[in-house]
Structures are given as C-alpha cells and as structure tokens.
Amino acid sequence: MGIEVFVLTAMPNYPKMKIFEGYRNDIFSSEVIDGIKVYRSWIYVSKSKSIVSRLLNYFSFVKSSFFCSIFVREKIDFILCESPPLFLGITAYLLSKLKKVKLIFNVSDLWPESAEKLGLVKNRLLLSMAYKLEKFLYNKSVLVSGQTMGIVENIKQRFPHKKTYWLKNGVDISLFDATKSTSDWREEMKFKDEDFIVYYGGLMGYAQAIEVILYAAEILRDKQSIKFVLLGSGPEKEKLLQLKEKLNLSNVYFFDLVQKKEMPIILNAIDTAIIPLKKLDLFKGAIPSKIFEILAMSKPILLGVEGEAKTLFIEQGNAGLAFEPENSKDLAAQILKLQENKNLSKQYGINGNKYVTKNFNRDIIAKDFYNEIIQL
C-alpha cells in the first residue's frame, strides 16, 4: 500500500517520503533530489528584525507556496504542514480543502507561545490572532504531531480531543557514521592534533544564547589547546562577532554554513559539541535536532538545556555532561572535565552513538510514522 504526502515546510525534513516543499529560491521551480520531486517557491528575506519584515517573510511564503501548489498535478492523500511558521497552516488548510485531502499538522516549536515568552512578539492583537489560528489549524487536522514529548503533552492538555503523535527527530545513520568518515579538516583549518576543539553548529539566534560560549572561551583563554569553533549563521551572528572582538578572543573561530554532506567530515574532527538554549521553562520540552547527528558521530555533548533533553541524553543516554543554561563558568568547568579526561570523553561518545542508533534511527521513525498515517 502506498501513500502520497505533500510536506509543506520552509525546511526539508522527510526525505524518505514523496514530498512537496516550498523553499527559498526563484518564483517557482522544481527538481528531483534522490528520487523525490521537490517544488520550490519564492520567499521574501530581509535582515530587518522588525515585525513588519517578519510578517512579510511569513506571508510571502504562504502566498507563493499556495499558488505554486495549484500547478502540482500528482495525486496526494495527505498534506503535512510543518510549523513554525504557523501562518503556513493557512496555505495547508486551503490546499486540503481544494484538493479534498486530509491535513496533518506537525509542530516543531510551540508558536506563538515561544515567540511570546521570548519577547519576540509583543503585539497583543497579533498574539491573540495567532493563538486563534493555532486553535483553528489543530481542530482542522486529522492528526497533530509534535517533535518532542513536551510539545505533545502541551497540545494534549490544551486540546484533549485531538489525536496526537510524537514524531521525534532522528538521524540518518548511514550518512552520519564515524566509522566511514575520514577527515583532514583539522589540517585544512590549521588546527593542531593536540587541540581540543569545542564546537557549536547551527542557527545563531536569540533562543540559542550563544554568548555563553564566548564568555566560557574568555574564562579558558589561557588554555591554549582549547579552541572554540562556531559554524552557522543567523540574526545574532553579527553581535557574536562584535562580542568576540570586544573580548579579544583569539581562541574563537567563526565559519560559514556548509552543505549537509560535509557535516560528517567536520563532526569527525571535533572533540565535543555545545548544545545551548536560554534558561526558560519554555525550553524544558525542547530537543535541539543537532544533538542526533553529533551523537551518531560518537562525539560527547555539553548540554545547556534543562528538562526533556537532559533526561534523555544525559541521564538515560549518558552521552555527555550538562551545564546550567547561560552559565559560562559552569560550561567552562565541564569543558575542562572532558579535555582533561580523554577516556571519559570517548566513553560518552560511544554511549551517545549506541543511544541514538537504538532510539532515534530516522528510518525506523519514518516507518513507524508511515504506519500511523495508514491508520488514518
């Protein structure tokens, strides 16, 4: 039995399914990637942080993805909408009615709740409208899935009548395999074999509180073998670069984003990775997706996230050390523990690899979700 699913999202997430993805590109385009037909539509992008620019960003994709999808002729059975952006649910709902198919709503971040608690959206009228839209979209979906148990429990409490599902993140074990990945990245970047590389990779945004890494680097500036590598981009990157200059940190290195296929090479070259978030109750149900790839590469993590992530990967998985979110002194102390005990660091890496291979293998997750969809 086969099913066809359109995935309406601003980020590619489900390569094992036949999907429709809107993504930043030309007005409309399509291509086949690994046997999957991907449709792309235009999105407005601005460096401005104003609420107007954010709304233009959201609604440009809402509009362009809807008109792009009208010209998609393949038969489908479900539309899966990825949120955030929550407003994309408008497109998904209209498409579900137009094409007479069922809507599945996948929540990777509880928006607008997270935006409100982070202070990113303060306009009460906009927040009220967003909460009403959230309620409407959940009610119109045959299934509401969440990326973490915390998200699912939150939705269950507020919408007890809705069918929910924990669609956890996972990792492509075949791609992120330390036994198959060789790396001369250290040599290319002029790091020494004896350097202890502490890595952060991903979005450099407000929620990540990456300043804690730079302040920890300041504390450890006399430990010349400890190097901090920050790879990625985001709205806070310029501030972080300015902070590096202000603190005069010669032990911190910034790198731009690379293609995903290059990530195993880089991860194989590091010694440990930092996973930080702001110290907010909101994030006690968060599981940053970067954790899975790092652990699959047998690297220990330094986790600055409380709640569900700490329970899973530190207490159960024993895959690294935890530090208090936004506490640079605590982070510096945990870095030293790993740097001074190579055997402990290696064992954490081994533990993490076993844990994600058993519990977060993306192929198994996709198969289980497929079976759940069939039941609908």
Residue with tokens 């110290």: 279
CATH 3.40.50.2000 domain extents, the chain: 5-170+361-375, 185-359
| Element (DSSP H or E) covering residue 99 | helix 88-99
What's the distance, Cα to Cα, between the start and end of the chain in Å? 13
Question: For 159, phi and psi rounded to 5 degrees?
Answer: -135, 70
Class of domain 185-359: alpha beta
C-alpha 216/C-alpha 363 separation (Å) is: 37
- Please tell me the predicted confidence (pLDDT) of residue 376: 79
* The domain made up of 5-170+361-375 is a member of CATH 3.40.5.50: no
SS3 18: coil
The full DSSP string for 194-248 is T-EEEEEEEE--TTT-THHHHHHHHHTTT-TTEEEEEEEE-TTHHHHHHHHHHHT
| Cβ neighbours of residue 197 closer than 8 Å, sequence gap 6 or more | 186, 191, 227, 229, 269, 270, 271, 272
C-alpha 24/C-alpha 18 separation (Å) is: 19
SS3 71: coil
Before 84, cis peptide (omega within 30)?
yes
- Please tell me the predicted confidence (pLDDT) of residue 326: 95
Tokens read off for 214: 């730079």
- Please tell me the predicted confidence (pLDDT) of residue 58: 75
CA 238, chain centre distance (Å): 21
CA 11 to each of CA 132, 171, 204, 348: distance values in angstroms, whole numbers, following the listed order: 24, 16, 16, 31
With beta carbons less than 8 A apart as the criterion, state whether 196 and 270 touch: no
Strands 28-33 and 36-41: antiparallel
- Please tell me the predicted confidence (pLDDT) of residue 28: 61
| Cβ atoms < 10 Å from Cβ of 124 | 9
* pTM reported for the whole predicted model: 0.78
Q: What is the pLDDT along the chain (376 residues), one digit of tens a residue?
A: 455 555 556 543 333 333 333 333 445 666 777 777 777 777 777 766 666 777 777 788 888 888 778 777 778 888 888 888 888 898 899 988 988 889 999 998 888 887 777 777 777 888 888 889 999 999 999 999 998 888 999 899 999 999 999 998 888 888 888 887 677 888 889 999 899 999 999 999 888 999 999 999 999 999 999 999 999 998 899 999 999 999 999 999 999 988 888 899 999 999 999 999 999 887 888 888 899 999 999 999 999 999 999 999 999 999 999 999 999 999 999 999 999 999 999 999 999 999 999 999 999 998 999 899 888 7
C-alpha 12/C-alpha 19 separation (Å) is: 9
- Please tell me the predicted confidence (pLDDT) of residue 13: 35
C-alpha 165/C-alpha 372 separation (Å) is: 9
